Amino acid sequence: MAFKNVQGICKLCLQQQILCKSHYLGRALHVLSRDDGKNAIVLTPKIITAAPKQLWAHLLCAECEKRISRNGESYVLTQLNRRDKFALFETLKNAKPIHVEGDLQVFSCDELGIDAEKLAYFALSIVWRGSVHDWKTLDGQTTGVPLGPYEERIRQYLAGDSGFPADVLVAVHVCTDIGSQGMIYSPERVKGVHAIYSDHSFLVRGLWFHVYVGKDIPTAMREICCVNSPKKVIFMRSCEKEFAESGRYLQKDATISPKVAHLFD
């Protein structure tokens, strides 16, 4: 229950404050996921159903909520697929890429006036929240993405106490496929791929973010970061394969509610 005037230590500024009802992925994203006012589809390893469930906790103070909104969240909400407009997709679709490799197109954020820092700040704010709290989903399940020693480094950056954290990369992919443009996946660690660094991936309505952490990230990998690469790169491609794989993973052992079974036939 969301009580008023809940006192506690804000996870971001680390000060004793009155804590807000903080959402994991943001209330606005949840609202966008409600098709014609219907409940959003919630996908978990145990159950897939339509539910009004929003993931929230008394986590941050009002000032830190404003900081996260001002430094990243508000900007991203103007750029992702909002049903009537997908601003970042339109920007890239009408621009000249600096590199093309098959389906993958690479663009420079600087050249196109895209605020790469705000995209990265938003991505880090999401995975950091996934690390500092176990978020309750359905039927007693929880979700989150432990960041280990990078949790504190990212917190300092988000709080404005340090610059962009070392050995952290953020890659942003603008999805051209319809499925990815309409779905939200909370952060998950990509398993069984990288041994010397971690990849934390999440999708918000056509923007697929990858947050890589690790001191041994190869030099070539560092060229994909939207903040620290020389041209502040951003990518556009079909994410249909990853979208399908994520769906199959969640459907593998989950019970599909009769309310949404027709969507998975």
Q: What is the pLDDT of residues 15-69, one digit of tens each?
A: 999 999 998 887 777 677 665 555 455 555 444 444 445 778 999 999 999 999 9
User: What pTM did the predictor assign?
Assistant: 0.88
Write down the mean pLDDT value for the chain.
85
For the chain, percent of residues with pLDDT exceeding 90: 57
Mean of pLDDT values over 246-250: 63
Q: How far apart are CA 106 and CA 212, in angstroms?
A: 19
Per-residue burial over 19-53, b = 16 or more CB atoms within 10 Å of its CB, e = otherwise: bbbbbbbbebbbebbeeeeebbbbbbeebbbbbee
| More confident: 169 or 263 | 169
Mean of pLDDT values over 145-172: 96
- 128 CA to centre of own chain: 10
| More confident: 146 or 191 | 146
For the cut 80, the answer to whether the pLDDT of residue 7 exceeds it is yes
Per-residue pLDDT, 50: 44
Contact by Cβ (8 Å): 203, 183: yes
For the chain, percent of residues with pLDDT exceeding 70: 79
Per-residue pLDDT, 213: 94
